[in-house]
Structure 1
Amino acid sequence: MKKVLIIARYFGTRIPGLIKYLPEYKWQPLLLTTDPITRELPPDLPCWNTPYQDLLRFWRRIFGLNPYEDFRTQIRNKFGVASKGSALDPVLTFVSEVINYPDADKGWRHPGIKLGMELLQRENISAIISSSSPVSGHIIARELSGRSQIPWVADLRDLWSQNHNYTYSRFRKILDRRLEIKTLGPASALVTASQPWADRLSELHRGKTTCAITNGFDPADVKGPAPGLTTKFTITHTGNIYEGKQDPTRLFAALRRLISEGTIDPGNIEVRFYGPALVWLDKEVRKYGLSGAVKQHGTVPHDVAIEKQRESQLLLLLDWDVPGENGVYPLKVFEYLGSMRPILATGGTTGNVVDVLLRKTGTGVHAPEAEAIINAIARLYREYRQDGRVTFRGAAGEINRYSQREMTGQFATILDRLSGK
């Protein structure tokens, strides 16, 4: 079995999936990380942790912040700032653009390179995968691959200087673009999470092998028989919400209208948000007069979130609302596929990757605009009232194409080619 060194810190679901399923494709993963942020790692995984000094550790400790959640969001919530544009923003921008360039994990670079070279000399490693963010992992991988001539796959779970959630200044973007081109230039292949993103990478890194490999769900997350569905018309959202990029108010406006018209009984509907509590979201709920129906329940363990999904009549997916951006798969869409409950996706644009995915798999409806959302909810609510449930009509064969096992197989194909198998 060949060995592949994976360099990553923030894992999402992509890296744990790779680690879990690569052995099925005759690749043994070894992990180089620093203070890994993930639900769990296999106990038998060869893993090397390179601690370093977090530049924001002092301030996290002073304000009692969670080191595993976004610094800026926590500061806003700490001071009760409901939205962006406050007096705090210049300070937060300075911290992000200057102190944390190119990212908050830049202190990982030198210890990561040192330990990585020791591993390459000691282990018979055939390939390297680095996965961002943070992009410091790519900088480490570039150095290791350059010194050893071992093939290197740079995986961008989100794009770098072309990031759909880019929040920095124009000057910072110029610096990021230059560093990206310099860093990824020697990579043997580039991988990202959607075809539109792969097309953009190809334009920036001309002549470079670029592939799109979507994220996936882990079938093992769905344990035991499906729980009974809620008796109410329950709409559930799990995970983060990015203010200014994902817009729950379209749903709120639709519900307000349907309730006012008498189409929906307000006592028969429940909208649940599981994830970091957001001050601005509560403000919007009150604005639409939905405090009795819409609740934030805070962050819950992953297995609890899965159960909440599986018992829901509908799963809410907030699509990305950025002009010209059609390549964003909100990460939860794949987890939702595995939960096998109907999905209502609001926002985004017709024909984007989410729209195509839901149509191909038959797992839900994509409603970008207000009238489409109103019509979709009214239709689904009628079905619920008539049948006592909203029926899931997903196509199992298509859904399974988006499992982490299938995702890992695509990575393994690239590794086999680069390593000369």
Structure 2
Amino acid sequence: MKRALIITYYWPPAGGPGVQRWLQFVKYFNDFGIEPVVYIPENPHYPMTDNSFVYEVPKDIKILKHPIKEPYRLAGLFSKKKTNTISSGIISKKKQSLLEKVMLYIRGNFFIPDARIGWVRPSVSFLSNYLLEQPVDIIISSGPPHSLHLIAMQLQKSTGIKWMADFRDPWTTIHYHASLRLNKASERKHKQLEARVLNSANCIVVTSPTTKREFEMITETPIEVITNGYAASNVVKTQLDTSFSISHIGSLLSERNPKELWKVLAEIASEKPLFKSDLCIQLAGTVSDDVLASIEKFGLSEATKSIGYVSHSEALQLQHNSQVLLLLEIDRPETRAIIPGKLFEYLAAKRPILAMGPFESDIEDIIVETKSGKFFSAHKEEVLKAHILNLYEQYKTTGLVIESENIEKYSRRELSRHMSDLIRKLV
């Protein structure tokens, strides 16, 4: 049995996709000969919480906690809403208030690489003492926040223990990095820290092939792609919506606003009155005002349900019940590496996926491989319209059915097997 110290910020009751990756690995590690020890903040500031995840934490694992000083708590005294959106990565380049500009400048230039940098020094001290009494075979850091990699890097240097750096998202190429109002010195420091982490780790794990290619330009450290995945569930029973539901699960940022889709849906609704009465656009999660304004502009407000944040179990039920599942990514080259965690849950739901994003997105490769839907890049309104009409015709006649393939390898258990094999190979 190999013992692994996992340093992560997001842990139940944190909500959203960030918490699920290592929660799921930890659930299966013992089956593959890995004993996990999880290190988390004692008093974190989570922008969203989901208590349903608490019940998924294995009862027999060791969890270490240490206090963290959260600057977002202080910022929340000025604007709780803006603080939560910034800490979630929901940053609009348009219509920024003076307060938001100041908060972004402070976040980007005074907290490098991120707002949890103050947790590094006390964590190194705490974990150094722990490792003297309870040694481990490997240290694993999960980012973002990327400051957690700095904890692992210092522990590796002082102890000689092998270190795996797991990147759920890229660092300097993440879509919101350019929105942090960085000065040249801060931008340079980010890149230096990124390179230092990549070159110091014994192994790097990323969630997409594009991120691997980007990192290979910076380091010769071995890099492995282990995507996010889906957790098998016998609880969710599909009860298909009677309406022609097109559902998006998760946050909808201003820059993820699919105006071409709204335009196409509005055109079909004006041409086919029955389509208009059947259509139901379901948005579960935080939705930006810009997205809602676009929906209203195209006359789709009456067909739209903005549900707000839902628990993970509720999200899974929505996915299984929907006629069509909508997956959206910001149409910019730097988002080609982003593979949202919900894609894999969409695969498990076995409902047709309608995905939109940048050209050469890693999302498209998975959708093509699994035959789970269609991916559209920009400026393909006629093709998009024809596809939606085809889906609607199936819905009205035979019923919408998808015959996907090769999704089993994206199950959390199989991914945990892959991660466990990598750990044993490294130590």
TM-score, length-normalised on structure 2? Answer: 0.89
Could you report, residue by residue, the CA deviation over 1:209-241 in whole angstroms, capped at 9, with x for unpaired residues? 11111111111xx33352320110001111112
Task: Name the counterpart of 2:367.
Answer: 358
Q: 1:92 aligns with which of 103, 106, 128?
A: 103
1:42 is displaced (CA, Å) by 2.5
**1:196 equivalenced with 2:200 (yes/no):** no
Is 2:417 the partner of 1:409? yes
Cα distance in 2, alignment partners of residues 297 and 282 from structure 1 = 12
Alpha carbons of 1:75 and 1:194: their partners in 2 closer, same or farther (altered >3 Å)? closer
Distance 1:185 1:328 in 2: 22
Residues 332 and 264 from structure 1, CA distance in 2 versus in 1: closer, same or farther, beyond 3 angstroms?
farther
Equivalence for 2:156: 145
Q: Aligned in 2, Cα 1:183/1:353: closer, same or farther, shift over 3 Å?
A: closer
In structure 2, the partner of 1:392 is 402
Q: Distance in 2 between matches of 1:303 and 1:390?
A: 23
Please say if residues 324 and 354 of structure 2, whose CA atoms lie closer than 8 Å, have aligned partners that are also in contact: yes
| 2:226 aligned partner | 213
Q: Is the 8 A contact 1:256 1:289 kept in 2?
A: yes
Distance 1:381 1:133 in 2: 40
The amino acid of 2:231's aligned partner reads D
Residue 146 (structure 1) shift? 1.0
Q: How does 1:16-415 map to 2 (within 5 A)?
A: 16-34=23-41, 35=43, 39-40=53-54, 41-61=57-77, 63-65=79-81, 69-71=84-86, 83-166=94-177, 167-168=179-180, 169=182, 171=184, 172-205=186-219, 207-219=220-232, 222-224=233-235, 226-244=237-255, 246-262=256-272, 265-323=275-333, 325-349=335-359, 351-368=360-377, 369-387=380-398, 389-395=399-405, 398-415=406-423
Deviations 1:293-346 (A, max 9, x none): 122111011101110111110100003311365322122111211222111112
Relative distance call for 1:318 and 1:48 in structure 2 (3 A) is same
- The DSSP-based 3-state class of the residue aligned with 2:333 is coil
Contact 2:165 2:203 in 1 (8 A): yes
Could you tell me how far 1:352 is from its partner in structure 2? Answer: 2.7
Q: 2-side partners of 1:266 and 1:131: how far apart?
A: 45
Letter of the 2:414 partner, please give it. Answer: E
Q: How far is the alpha carbon of 1:383 from its aligned partner?
A: 0.4
Q: Distance in 1 between matches of 2:89 and 2:424?
A: 43
- Listed as ranges, the gaps of 5+ residues in structure 2 are 11-17
Q: CA deviation at 1:20?
A: 1.0
> 1:348, CA displacement in angstroms?
2.3
- Tell me which amino acid in the other structure corresponds to 1:152: W
Give yes or no for contact 1:32–1:112 (8 Å, CA) kept in 2.
Answer: no
1:88 to partner: Cα distance: 4.1
Q: Check the 8 A contact 2:254/2:288 in 1, yes or no.
A: no
Change in 2 beyond 3 A, CA 1:199/1:74: closer
User: Is residue 320–residue 351 contact of structure 2 (8 Å, CA) maintained in 1?
Assistant: yes
CA distance in 1, matches of 2:425, 2:87: 42
Structure 1 unaligned runs (5+)?
Answer: none
Cα distance, 1:157 vs structure 2: 0.8
CA distance in 2, matches of 1:5, 1:75: 30
Q: TM-score, normalised by structure 1?
A: 0.90
Whole-Å separation in 2 of the counterparts to 1:355 and 1:230 = 26
Native 8 Å contact 1:82 1:280 kept in 2: no
Contact 1:83/1:280 (CA < 8 Å) preserved in 2?
no
